[in-house]
């Protein structure tokens, strides 16, 4: 999921760079919303991964209790 979110974010940034080269100005509201949504999804996925890693480490240290 994290790779998917980062892939979309990279594609959006690349699209924005191409638009700036062609002379278009600014970003549409939907583009801003998509980028913000992808950032939120990536942050939630990263938080979930970190939570699982931390709880797995605690479980290993405490012996599963």
pTM of the model: 0.52
Residue 24 is predicted with a pLDDT of 67
Cβ atoms of 48 and 8 within 8 Å: the answer is no
Query: pLDDT value at position 17?
Result: 77
Task: Give the pLDDT band of residue 2 (cuts 50, 70, 90).
Answer: low
Q: Tokens for 21, please give them.
A: 């080269």
CA atoms of 37 and 57, how far apart (whole Å): 30
Let me know: does 31 contact 12? Beta carbons within 8 Å: yes
Write the pLDDT tens digit of every residue in 20-54: 777 766 667 777 788 888 888 888 888 988 998 88
Whole-number pLDDT of residue 7: 81
The token pair at 57 is 């480490």
Give mean pLDDT, residues 3-23: 78
31/56 Cα distance (integer angstroms): 37
């Amino acid at each position: 999921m994290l790779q998917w979110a980062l892939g979309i974010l990279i594609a959006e940034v690349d699209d924005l760079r191409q638009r700036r080269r062609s002379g278009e100005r600014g970003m549409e509201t939907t583009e801003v919303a998509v980028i913000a949504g992808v950032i939120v999804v990536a942050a939630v996925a990263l938080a979930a991964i970190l939570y699982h890693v931390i709880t797995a480490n605690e479980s290993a240290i405490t012996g599963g209790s």
